Structure 1
Amino acid sequence: MAALGLAIDTTFDDTSVAIVRGANTVLANLTISQFEDHKAFGGVVPERASRRHLEVIHPLIDRALAEAELSYRDLDWVAASNRPGLLGAILVGLSVAKSLSYALDIPLIGINHIEAHPYAGMIEHDDVTFPLINLVVAGGHTLLIHQRGHGDWTVVGRSVDDAAGECADKVARIFGLPMPGGKAIDDIAMVTAAGDYDFPRPLLNQDNLDFSFSGLKTAMKRFHDAHFSPEGNIAKEPVLAAFFESVCDVLVAKTLRAADRYGVGTITVSGGLAASRRLRRRFADAAAQTDLRLIHPRAALCTDNAAMVGCLASYYYAAGRRDTLDLRAVPNISD
């Protein structure tokens, strides 16, 4: 029988715990969001996030074990995301994982949170073949990853300034939409035809795989200031739908370019913005016109969760990877 593992993710403002059996069976996946805790501040306050993680993580683990009808002694390994993210937040989950590893005398496995995102889609697909291209659109990251196998991957494209999700959130604020901004804009894009607006598609025609959304954000700010006033506003919905088409155009085109450049047959799309219904439709349409296989998580698994951490950790456990109790928490993706 496949090994049982406990996975923990506290890299940002969600506390998430999962119990997995092997890489494809999730027995429990529980997440507590801090969105309402930070809403009044207009963004996540790191110290508040860390304290909230500390308050809820132990009861959440107990709930997950109860849901899976297991005890601590049934666990074969424990994993925690140790990079990247908010340092204090990471330390909460990592410290708990280290304590359990020591007390239960079971292996500890540290996981790169960004590396884990594509596994949110692989949980339900045990027939994934490598190599593949992963597009990760998560929070402050927009990355293209060429993956040759479990643990064997290279970042081949990244955002050089604002990530796609950051850009969507900032544009939503400019236009007075509620947070989370990406979802608010996606809801508009699903029911509104894009207006005839020629917004920038940054780096689209450059022969590289990097992303840049800061200029698009600035263009939207200038457009808003020039065309929206108390005296007479044009309808903002077609404007925002056109904006999101610009974002989708870049994400789809760059991902297909990467797939062609590296000769892969499968692409995955993951991260919070991958929950966008409009973006999913655009990728589905693009994949249908090619021989590419498209894998993306269920919408509920696009945001931060421990199930994706557990899926990746299961592969690492089976491969014999073990980390020591001096495993560091690393806030940056490149360190």
Structure 2
Amino acid sequence: MLILGIETSCDETAAAVVRDGVDVLSNVVASQHEIHTRFGGVVPELASRAHCENILPVVESAIASASVRLSDIDAIAVGHRPGLIGSLLVGVAAAKSLAWSLGKPLIGVDHVHAHLYAGLLHQSGATGQPETHIFPALGLVVSGGHTSIYRLDSWVKLQRLGATIDDALGEAYDKVATILGLPYPGGPNLDALAQAPGADERVADLPISRLSPTSLDFSFSGLKTAMLYEVRGVPDHPAHHRAESRYLPPPPLTDERRRDLAATFQRAAAKTVILKLERALYQLRDAGVKPNTLLTGGGVTANSRLRHELSSFASVNQLRLHLPALRFCVDNAAMIAGLAYHHHQAGKSSDLTLEPVPTTAN
């Protein structure tokens, strides 16, 4: 079965053709980094306008790269939630138009849930059979807009166990990169700096947010603020805020200190994620649910430190780990088409009243 996927939830215009849920025949992504770099982040209005310009060329390129015709496509899938509403509108309108004109089924997919599927995708021509015996599974999405843990019993039955109560991890990465004076996009640049030779990842004592003893929610605002204090030298002890006290001067932000702080932040961020995964796994096992797979996705799964820590966590806990290939960590349409295949197999589809929704389903 050939599914054409479309993804426009934020600032990438993407289209892909996927066979039988795993075989990626094409995966085309038009990035808007050059548009948003000077603003230090995504400007929704500019993103929407760029999607309008890019959507048709991207879809045409995906069809051509897959060496198929539009008439060969069996269904049209689109990420219709969550995201920037103006961006989503472009993708949903394009998908509905194609489905109507071609007389093909329309399948709306939750973008965040699709990230969990990205680790099962492979390029056309790769050997191997579709993965079986995945469920029950523990899921983790870490991106610029979402940081969530899931229990999955099937591709259409999943439950969110915890989520961020403030900043998503990718957002925290970008903000800390700005604090350190790194260029946009902050996350990849911070990761590269943290891997520089000689980096000291214990140069500062950064907090690991636990919230309550059983909470599976995340909080990264405290970690971000602690990094701000490390750079500006603002004391965080109440005794230092008395009127007669004098603020300590900030240490010079040399290249070496910037490198060390980047590594220290990465260590603390990864430890926070692993802590919550450990809690989730123990709670599920205590409830009689025994996950045998860890599904991960989202832009931050491209981070070198997090990939290493996730691999170690999965190995220690005897979980099969599905880490997306780097090209499938970022927003892409292949994951939309891949997950849509399983929606179709389960008899789930949409009609032409499908609407873009700025929030995730759960």
Change (3 A) 1:168 1:128: farther
Larger mean Cα displacement after TM superposition, 228-237 or 127-136: 228-237
Q: Any idea what the Cα deviations from partners look like across 1:28-84, whole Å, max 9, x if unmatched?
A: 100000011111122111111111111111111111111111111111110111100
Output aligned runs, 1:64-79, within 5 Å: 64-79=62-77
TM-score (norm. length: structure 1): 0.95
Q: Per the alignment, in what secondary structure is the counterpart of residue 235 of structure 1?
A: helix
2:163 is the alignment partner of 1:158: yes
Change (3 A) 1:89 1:231: closer
Q: Any idea what the Cα deviations from partners look like across 1:215-239, whole Å, max 9, x if unmatched?
A: 1111111111016466978722112
CA contact (8 A) 1:137 1:143 kept: yes
Q: Any idea what the Cα deviations from partners look like across 1:266-310, whole Å, max 9, x if unmatched?
A: 112210000011111111122222212211101111000000001
Distance between the aligned counterparts of 1:285 and 1:331, measured in 2?
34
- Unpaired runs of 5+ in structure 1? none
Q: Give the aligned partner of residue 198 of structure 1.
A: 205
Q: Give the aligned partner of residue 223 of structure 1.
A: 230
CA contact (8 A) 2:116 2:296 kept: yes
Q: Give the aligned partner of residue 29 of structure 1.
A: 27
Distance between the aligned counterparts of 1:27 and 1:334, measured in 2?
29
Distance between the aligned counterparts of 1:233 and 1:289, measured in 2?
36
Which amino acid counterpart does residue 300 of structure 1 have in structure 2?
A: R
CA contact (8 A) 1:133 1:268 kept: yes
CA contact (8 A) 2:194 2:266 kept: yes
Q: Per the alignment, in what secondary structure is the counterpart of residue 195 of structure 2?
A: helix
2:130 is the alignment partner of 1:110: no
Which amino acid counterpart does residue 211 of structure 1 have in structure 2?
A: F
Distance between the aligned counterparts of 1:316 and 1:190, measured in 2?
40
Q: Identity, % of aligned pairs?
A: 40
CA contact (8 A) 2:201 2:263 kept: yes
CA contact (8 A) 2:152 2:159 kept: yes
Q: Give the aligned partner of residue 247 of structure 1.
A: 269
Distance between the aligned counterparts of 1:122 and 1:189, measured in 2?
29
Change (3 A) 1:301 1:231: closer
Distance between the aligned counterparts of 1:317 and 1:87, measured in 2?
25
Q: CA RMSD in A?
A: 1.8
Q: Give the aligned partner of residue 192 of structure 2.
A: 187
CA contact (8 A) 1:204 1:250 kept: no
Distance between the aligned counterparts of 1:253 and 1:204, measured in 2?
11
Which amino acid counterpart does residue 45 of structure 2 have in structure 1?
A: E
Distance between the aligned counterparts of 1:294 and 1:253, measured in 2?
17
Q: Per the alignment, in what secondary structure is the counterpart of residue 118 of structure 1?
A: helix
Which amino acid counterpart does residue 305 of structure 1 have in structure 2?
A: N
Change (3 A) 1:33 1:234: closer
CA contact (8 A) 1:188 1:237 kept: yes
Distance between the aligned counterparts of 1:231 and 1:319, measured in 2?
55
Distance between the aligned counterparts of 1:73 and 1:286, measured in 2?
45
Query: How far 1:172 sits from its partner (Å)?
Result: 0.7
Output aligned runs, 1:312-327, within 5 Å: 312-327=339-354
CA contact (8 A) 1:24 1:126 kept: no
Change (3 A) 1:204 1:266: farther
2:296 is the alignment partner of 1:289: no
Distance between the aligned counterparts of 1:259 and 1:132, measured in 2?
10
CA contact (8 A) 2:231 2:253 kept: no
Q: Per the alignment, in what secondary structure is the counterpart of residue 36 of structure 1?
A: helix
Output aligned runs, 1:1-335, within 5 Å: 3-124=1-122, 126-191=131-196, 192-203=199-210, 206-226=213-233, 228=250, 235-262=257-284, 263-334=290-361
CA radius of gyration, larger in: 2
- Unpaired runs of 5+ in structure 2? 123-129, 234-248, 285-289
CA contact (8 A) 2:13 2:29 kept: yes
Larger mean Cα displacement after TM superposition, 258-267 or 172-181: 258-267
Query: How far 1:208 sits from its partner (Å)?
Result: 1.2
Distance between the aligned counterparts of 1:28 and 1:65, measured in 2?
7
Q: Any idea what the Cα deviations from partners look like across 1:100-130, whole Å, max 9, x if unmatched?
A: 1111111000000001001110224522510
Distance between the aligned counterparts of 1:115 and 1:45, measured in 2?
24
CA contact (8 A) 1:121 1:296 kept: yes
Change (3 A) 1:143 1:231: closer
Distance between the aligned counterparts of 1:331 and 1:108, measured in 2?
19
Q: Per the alignment, in what secondary structure is the counterpart of residue 117 of structure 1?
A: helix
CA contact (8 A) 1:101 1:107 kept: yes
